[in-house]
Amino acid sequence: MPDSINILIIGDVLGKAGRRALRDHLPHLIDDHQIDFCVANGENLAAGFGTTIKLADELFCIGVDVITNGNHCWDQRSFLEEIDEDDRFVRPANFSKHAPGAGWTIQETRNGHRIAVINLIGQVFMSTWDCPFEAAERIMEDMPDDVHAVLVDFHAETTSEKMGMGWFLDGQVSFVYGTHTHVPTCDEIIHPSGTAFQCDIGMTGSYNSIIGMEKVGALHRMVTRLPQRFEAVERGATIFATKITVDASTKKTTNIERICIRPES
């Protein structure tokens, strides 16, 4: 079994544009970067509003190993039942105890490495979820000793809350990364105890938009403060992702790098 694990994290995949971009580029990314394990946030797969098992299968078929979620998790009502059909789905662990699905999972790479993926959601400027820090603490108490890497998708609004989680879990997990804002940050770092951190991976979707949505509708709501239906931009997606390398014997991250693939003009 190799000593290191190459892991690719893809931020919020938005709608048809994001799915098409991954279909065109993800298999090559996996080969070129020798990726052993891939995680994507799928809460926006259905035109920005939730996911379905059919849409998720498009990602599973091209190399994604686990799909995380966020505040749009239940926008597609069918997913309330579908989430329990596949243990490669996770939803925020600090959702209500009545929520279906699981807040973390362990999956194996082709080389036999066991990768734990935890999903959490923030409280600041979000809804009234349970405390993500307490949820993380409970999960880590139950984490088996034989996992080789632990990844945490923290779906949150503010940089401060995300940074807090990064320091809270320093030395316990391999990578704490943010999703939700759809804006990539260039603050990737490896903390002193070996935990990598990045405030937000960024969206895989169209940036000729307002966080993936058609500009006209979004601006209309901002200017008039009147209700307006949002429509996802279906063309010209940019892929934002982050690759980490983890020492399988220590769970510590040894390298982190951002990846960006822009649409062809």
pLDDT number for residue 265:
47
Is 113 known to be catalytic?
no
Each residue of 101-144: pLDDT tens digit?
999 999 999 999 999 999 999 999 998 899 999 999 999 999 99
Contact, 62 vs 26, CB < 8 A? yes
Catalytic residue selected from 72, 155, 180, 182: 72
Domain 4-261 has CATH 3.60.21.10: yes
Each residue of 24-69: pLDDT tens digit?
999 999 999 999 999 999 999 999 999 999 999 999 999 999 999 9
Least confident piece of the model among 106-110, 126-130, 164-168, 202-206: 126-130
What are phi and psi for residue 232, nearest 5 degrees?
A: -70, 140
Q: What is the pTM of this model?
A: 0.96
- Domain ranges in the chain? 4-261
